[in-house]
Structure 1
Amino acid sequence: MSKRRPNWFGQLPLTRRILAVNLLTIVLLAFGVLYLDAFRNQLSEERLTLIHREAEMTASVLAMTPAPARDSVLLSLAKSTGSRIRLYGSDGSLRSDSWKATGPTYTLRDPTTQKWNKDAARALDRGFNALVGAKPLDDFIEPAEDKLQSWSEGTYARQTGQAVTKVRNAPDLTPVFSAAAPVGEETVLLTTNDREFTRTIRSQRTSLAIAMAIAVVLSVLLSLFLARTIVRPLRRIALAAHRVRLGRAREVKVPRLPSRTDEIGQLARSVSDMSQSLRQRMDNIEHFAADVTHELKNPLASLRSALDGLDRVEDPKLKLQLLAVAKDDVVRLDRLIGDISEAARTDAELARAKFEPVDLGPVIEQLVSSWEHRREKGDAHLAFARPRRATAVVLGDANRLVRAIDNIIDNAISFSPPGGLVEIAAARVGDEVRIRIDDEGPGVPEEAREAIFNRFHSIRPEEEHFGRHSGLGLAIARAIVEGHDGEIDVQDRDDAPSGARFTITLPATEAA
């Protein structure tokens, strides 16, 4: 059998997965934009550096060349560099222009005569410049009167005595690089429309666009995969929840998705646990309803029989007996209905109860005093080993805890022999508070120690008065104790020949 591969993607929280998928395209786009901007800036710097050197070299050559030979030298330099070289005199007038001998070495193209794809490329150029916040360039326009004062870089070069560069945009958004350098009292100006620069940038942009398209496709595939990992299990959980709601199937298996530790896995296990708890509660309600019906039928049948007999019986003594039976049945029904009501609302009241620190010492002491003075306990005796104050403190509902302990004491008294002693003790043991209730009765058989906590458990002492117990007391006690995150069990006493020992264990807390 092959081992199941670990679902590492299912271990990541959904927030991280969604964030990663959404950021993927954005990060790649940002990386591409930054790369292209850095590449363009670096290439522009290289072009400016190159024309700067050409201007310095041209100025040096012209400075060493006699005036009659400058035109031929200027023509040779223009052919070798491909730039348009102009020489301006000390008054700023144009003295030499390489284009007069070589003709134009570059052409400024009119964008209105170009195809639509060039317009699209220029639109992308403008969008990219706006995206990176590039500083707008001046438009390159040939002056109507060609003189040095028409070129800002020429004026700066004459003022500073150093070569000055500048870049402008041609009408079709291709760059025009220019550089001016002083030649004694004169100034040389080089200009070139570097269309190769634009082609290189657009080629890089095309490559990045392809990469971005691949990234978008990848992001879409990842998004679909992410949606699949989210939607499919949610659909399974929703379908199972729908079946639970319809209640047509007795057992509805909600997928628990044990391989996933993300939010969906937690949701699946929570819904599964909830459905199991709901199913168990529904089963308990059905069983409880069936038990209530069964328990109510017996006293009602007895009561009907007694009342029917009253109409037919003439013997006064027999009538008195039938009336006594009817009264006992009424008492039994009253007690039974009260206990049923108590059992039915125990869980709901515990769910709404506000737990507070409860010191069980004085609470149990007051309960024992109530049994001694106001309750029917026969000739049984109660003894309580009261703990030190604020040592047996638990977090809970005092009234509910009193009801649980009272039910167990009531059970212990009912099984105690004549003159028997019921011992009660409470103490803190580590992080727990343990309440022990011992009686001197016959004890509880091992096979019945779990059954006695079931509702309507009917094994009672033979001499007990009819209708005194409904069989719900211990079931209510267990529900209350478990509602306080505690446990209750029963064992035989180890310090007496016979008797049962009920132990309630509750989490301890500090006194308020």
Structure 2
Amino acid sequence: MAEPSGSNTADDAPQLSSGETLSTTGRFSLTARILLVNMLPLLLLGGGLFYLDSYRTQLINERFKLARIEAQITAEALAGASRERQEALLVQIGKEQGMRLRMFDAEGRLWADSFELDEPSFTFDDISDDTWDQRFARWLDRTVDTIVAAEPVTDYVPREAKTADAWPELVRAREQGVSQVTLYDWADGTPVITAAAPVGLNGATLLTVRNAVDITATVRAARTTLVTAVLLILFASAMLSLYLARTIVTPLRELATAAVKVRQGRERGVEVPRLPDRSDEIGLLARAVSDMTAALRHRIDAVDSFAADVAHEIKNPLASLRSAIESLPKVNDEETRRELEMIAIHDVRRIDRLVTEISDASRIDSEMSRATRERIDMAELVRSIIGSREHRAENQDHRIELKTHGPPPVVLGVGARLERVIENLLDNAVSFSPPEAPIEVLVENDGACVSVTVCDSGPGIPEESREKVFHRFHSVRPEQEDFGNHSGLGLAIARAIAEAHDGSLVAEARSDGAQGACIRLRLPAA
């Protein structure tokens, strides 16, 4: 039946797999994985630094309490004891606790020093002969203190003065009558804790000095463990990053190679990897490139086929026109000359019609992509077209019966293009229907789709040929119709317009069992 056409349907075009969108689901995306791998060591290091600073502060606070308690207990033990006993206690406690103890009398004069009474229980480290690892440890301490914004600590300066006024904590203890604890920092970065406490009620005072090297050792050991863990994680992170890089670079290199081959015109021999096992961005890209390549092949095939069809269709009228023009000078009979002239005019019109239809078919995609869609009542559009055709006497002797069913059949589309589809369907039905046979047009809206069905009373379309009628230049016209009055592109253009509106155009048998054929246009309801 109808004037068919021949572009391949959009259903043949490659699509992304069901449910696949431009976002990934089901697994961590590459971005999240890369960020996690690279941020984990930094998070561990940062968290560890703040934890160690808190741990160090906690140790010092505990040592503060201990220093205060030790000073108070020692002061109570010294109170009321004889001088010999006091000196013995200073030496004994100093050795056992690793401290230096000094006693001052009521006038603030030094009269007993555990380091002078016996061998010193500890010595401050001389940093001038430190090894490189000790210097590095001090540098690392200062760096960590800067990072965590630790409060500065006063440097400890050894005092050999014989009066209590040289120690601020002793001055406060004498004035306030309660024990005082102070934190200092030795040159090697170890904390120095001093505690001053009143001894008895006679105004004497006690000063204890402890170099808490164990705190620094504990913190540095923990820091060493942390740095070791961070280095191990950095190594693991580097390995994982290399693995991730391979999982990214290798498929990207394969895709790039395939893209270059396609650009070089070897797309027929190129198999673009689809990576079906990957649901991340790389897998999505691979499938998108594969589908794009398939669509490109489909488009190239369509263009090649279209060009071949156009050349074939134009060649026939050109050959006829050439034959008529070449014969004119050789013919003297006026009647024959008029016939040749009519043939030439007919062929020129046929070529003009072909060029117009071909140009129209080639512009559909680009025009539809730029056109602004509007709400269109298909029933009103069909009614208007039928009235215009009757006014122009294009329906011949046929009566066109319009029926509607369902809610208002409103769609979103380009009015001029949808009008072209309806005109083609009515032209087709008029061509194939017997004289004075009615043509039925049914417009329906089922809520999801709007359909326009045009049924004629012609010979119908065999089931095996119902798709061929939409192929380009496939035209089986009625015998009574003049040859060349149709290009064979009408239904092809109509289907292209329908698919550009996300719809479809198919040929069917009449539902009432009568002779004839129906062509149904389906569009999404607005």
Partner residue in 2 for 1:3: none
The answer on 1:240 being equivalent to 2:267 is no
Whether contact under 8 Å (1:10, 1:260) holds in the other structure is no
Q: 1:361 to 1:494 in 2, by over 3 A?
A: closer
State whether residues 28 and 212 of structure 1, in contact with CA within 8 Å, keep that contact through their aligned partners in structure 2: yes
2: CA distance, partners of 1:261 / 1:466? 56
Q: Give the aligned partner of residue 490 of structure 2.
A: 473
- Counterpart of 1:227 in structure 2 is 245
1:94, 1:147 within 8 Å by CA — same for their partners in 2?
Answer: yes
Q: What is residue 267 of structure 1 aligned with on the other side?
A: 285
Given the alignment, which residue of 150, 154, 157 partners 2:173?
A: 157
Tell me the equivalent position of 2:515: 498
Say whether 1:72 aligns with 2:85.
Answer: no
**2:146 is the counterpart of 1:140:** no
The whole-number CA distance in structure 2 between the counterparts of 1:85 and 1:201 is: 26
User: Contact (CA 8 Å) 2:442, 2:452: kept in 1 or not?
Assistant: yes
Number of the residue aligned with 2:8 = none
Which residue matches 1:167? 183
Q: CA deviation at 1:391?
A: 0.4
Give every structure 1 segment of 4 or more consecutive aligned residues whose post-TM-superposition deviation is greater than 4 Å.
none
The question of whether the paired residues in 2 share the 8 Å contact of 1:453 and 1:478 is answered with yes
Separation in structure 1 between the aligned mates of residue 41 and residue 95 of structure 2, nearest angstrom: 48
Of the three residues 350, 369, 392, the one matched with 1:351 is 369
Question: Tell me, what secondary structure is at the counterpart of 2:178?
Answer: coil
2:462 is the counterpart of 1:462: no
* Cα deviation, residue 84, structure 1: 1.0
Structure 2 CA distance, aligned partners of 1:340 and 1:318?
A: 33
Task: Verify the 8 A CA contact 2:197 2:205 in the aligned structure 1.
Answer: yes
Deviates more, 1:195-204 or 1:347-356: 195-204
What are the equivalent positions in structure 2 for 1:29-48 lying under 5 Å apart? Answer: 29-48=45-64
Q: Is 1:104 the counterpart of 2:120 in the alignment?
A: yes
Q: C-alpha distance in 2, partners of 1:173/1:105?
A: 20
Higher relative CO (Cα under 8 Å, sequence separation at least 6) belongs to 2
Q: Are the aligned partners of 2:503 and 2:521 in contact in 1 as well (CA < 8 Å)?
A: yes
Contact 2:45/2:227 (<8 A) preserved = no
Q: Does 1:335 align with 2:353?
A: yes
Which residue of structure 1 lines up, in the alignment, with residue 135 of structure 2? 119
1:74 is displaced (CA, Å) by: 2.3
Scaled by the length of structure 2, the TM-score of the pair is 0.91
Aligned to 1:209: 227
DSSP-derived class of the 1:11 partner: coil
Give the whole-Å Cα distance in 1 for the aligned partners of 2:242 and 2:364: 49
The CA deviation at 1:220 is 0.8
Which amino acid in the other structure matches residue 270 of structure 1? A
**Could you tell me how far apart the structure 1 residues matched to 2:54 and 2:447 are?**
69
CA distance, structure 2, for counterparts of residue 295 and residue 79 of structure 1: 115
- Please give the secondary structure, in 1, of the residue aligned with 2:257: helix
For 1:442 and 1:146, the matched residues in 2 are separated by 130
Candidates 204, 208, 221, aligned match of 1:190: 208
Whether 1:27 and 2:43 are equivalent positions in the alignment is: yes
The one-letter amino acid paired with 2:484 is G
Amino acid of the structure 2 residue aligned with 1:395: L
Partner amino acid, structure 2, of 1:325:
I
- Matches of 2:33 and 2:191, distance apart in 1: 44
The answer for unaligned runs of 5 or more in structure 1 is 1-7
Give the letter aligned to residue 490 of structure 2: G
Change beyond 3 A, Cα 1:9–1:216: farther
Mapped to 2, the partners of 1:386 and 1:97 lie a distance apart of 115
TM-score for the superposition, normalised by structure 1: 0.93
Query: CA shift at 1:163, angstroms?
Result: 2.3
Residues of 2 paired with 1:350 and 1:48: CA distance?
82
Deviations 1:373-410 (A, max 9, x none): 1254432332223568x701001111111111111111
Question: CA separation of 1:409/1:449 partners in 2, compared to 1, >3 Å: closer, same or farther?
Answer: same
Provide the C-alpha distance between the structure 1 equivalents of 2:30 and 2:393, rounded to a whole number of angstroms. 61
In the alignment, structure 1 residue 131 sits paired with structure 2 residue 123: no
What RMSD, in angstroms, separates the aligned Cα atoms of the two structures? 2.0
Within-5 A mapping of 1:379-418? 379-385=397-403, 391-418=408-435
Hey, what does 1:298 align to over in structure 2? 316
Q: Partner residue of 1:310? A: 328
The superposition leaves residues 181-211 of structure 1 with CA deviations (integer Å, 9 ceiling, x where unpaired) of 1112111011122333322222222222111
CA contact (8 A) 2:87 2:117 kept: no
- What one-letter code is carried by the residue in structure 2 that aligns with 1:364? V
From 457, 480, 485, give the equivalent of 2:502.
485
CA distance in 2, matches of 1:80, 1:239: 77
SS of the residue corresponding to residue 256 of structure 2 reads helix
In 2: Cα distance, 1:452 partner to 1:47 partner = 96
Q: CA–CA distance in 1 between the matches of 2:68 and 2:454?
A: 104
Alpha-carbon distance in structure 2 between the residues aligned to 1:186 and 1:260: 81
Aligned: 1:281 with 2:308: no
Contact 2:506–2:521 (CA<8 Å) still a contact in 1? yes
Report the CA distance between 1:357 and its aligned residue.
Answer: 1.1
Cα distance in 1 for partners of 2:101, 2:514 equals: 125
Q: Percent identity?
A: 45
Using the alignment, how far apart are the partners of 1:68 and 1:455 within structure 2? 123
Task: Specify the SS of the correspondent of 1:250.
Answer: helix
Work out which of the residue numbers 20, 24, 33 in structure 2 matches 1:17. 33
- Name the SS of the counterpart of 2:472 in structure 1: coil
Q: Is the 8 A contact 1:10 1:259 kept in 2?
A: no
Distance 1:223 1:205 in 2: 26
Shift of 1:448: 0.8
What amino acid sits opposite 2:442 in the alignment?
A
Would the alpha carbon gap of residues 22 and 215 (structure 1) be closer, same or farther in structure 2, given more than 3 Å must change? same
Counterpart of 2:268 in 1: which secondary structure? coil
Is the Cα contact below 8 Å between 1:383 and 1:422 reproduced in 2?
yes
Indicate the residue corresponding to 1:367 in structure 2.
385
Given that 2:460 and 2:509 are in contact with CA atoms closer than 8 Å, whether structure 1 keeps it comes out as yes
Partner of 1:507: 524
Is 1:161–1:182's contact at 8 Å kept on the other side of the alignment? yes
- 1:10-36 deviation line (CA, Å, top 9, x unaligned): 931122112211211111102221232
1:320 aligns with 2:338: yes
